[in-house]
Amino acid sequence: MITLSTLKKYKKEGRKFSCLTCYDALFAKMMQNAQIDTILIGDSLGMVVQGHDSTLPVSVDDIAYHTANVARSNQHALILADLPFMSYVTLEDAVINTRKVMQAGAHVIKLEGGAELADMVATLTAAGAPICVHLGLTPQSVNVFGGYKVQGKSEDSAAKLLADVQAVVAAGAAILLLECVPAALATQISQTVDVPVIGIGAGPDTDGQVLVMHDMLGVTHGRTARFVHDFLTDERNQTGAYTGSVEGAFALFHQSVIEGSYPRPEHQFL
């Protein structure tokens, strides 16, 4: 079973680890067979499962439901789960909703934000809830950002991101997730902190890589983000145990992350 200690050991050894979003038991079992290291029950389910145009309508009950589905089938991966939009505005809300999602089966709770989360991270960590802090492009703040844009490109915004990282790590954050951050900045962060760093659109040097399951299977609609790669199509073009299968695509993603062949230069932001 992958634990936080496992991920810290991987980081120390320089071994990369894989992460995919998942929302139900069947796909969780396939991911287990493919040896995916970590699973994220993301509020991305609002878009890929529920059909919304953003993550904002997702509720805590939605996350708890899908977390329980995944947990029943998982005996391998570390399970991360989002607290959705406006569900942790106050510390009281954060405690109540963290308890609900962890009792559903999550091992780590993911929050979006920066230095303003420091006190919350410290309190939840002290109470026994490991926290992953999501920085950079945080989809729950898409209306504040004015769209889905790369973060940390200017000198000032990079400095703010670095300060946010330092604050949440000092508060006890167990994992960081960087989204749509220039590769050089993500490399600097990954090399500076002693906690595992997961990247999505953050270059090749983070400790782990995450993609939304539907995206990496080529099941998308509309514009595809630069960092997305269709592993199912790749699997169809190869021979092996899983020829053109979903489970094979998961295994190929895991292998590509471990070997460092994903992400490629075209998947990163400069």
pTM of the model: 0.94
Which tokens is 19 given? 């992460």
Give the Cα separation of 151 and 269 in Å (integer). 10
Percent of the chain at pLDDT exceeding 90: 84
Question: What is the residue-level pLDDT of the chain in tens, covering all 270 positions?
Answer: 999 999 999 999 999 999 999 999 999 999 999 999 999 999 999 999 999 988 999 999 999 999 999 999 999 999 999 999 999 999 999 999 999 999 999 999 999 999 999 999 999 999 999 999 999 987 775 545 445 566 778 899 999 999 999 999 999 999 999 999 999 999 999 999 999 999 999 999 999 999 999 999 999 866 788 899 999 988 767 655 545 689 999 999 999 999 999 999 999 887
* Domain residue ranges of the chain, discontinuous segments joined by +: 4-267
Q: State residue 145's pLDDT score.
A: 44
Residue pair 200/227 in contact (Cβ under 8 Å)? The answer is yes
Would you call the peptide bond into 265 cis, given omega within 30 degrees of 0 as the criterion? no
Q: Is 179 a known active-site residue?
A: yes
Q: State residue 225's pLDDT score.
A: 87
Q: State residue 146's pLDDT score.
A: 47
Q: In 182-221, which positions are buried (b, 16+ CB within 10 angstroms) versus exposed (e)?
A: bbebbbbbbeebebbbbbbbbbbbbbbbbbbbbbbbeeee
Radius of gyration of the chain (CA): 17
SS3 for 108-136 is EEEEECCHHHHHHHHHHHHCCCCEEEEEE
Catalytic residue among 112, 116, 155, 179: 179
Q: Which CATH architecture describes the domain 4-267?
A: Alpha-Beta Barrel (3.20)
Residue 74 neighbours by CB under 8 Å, 6+ apart:
28, 29, 31, 32, 39, 105
Give the Cα separation of 22 and 9 in Å (integer). 24
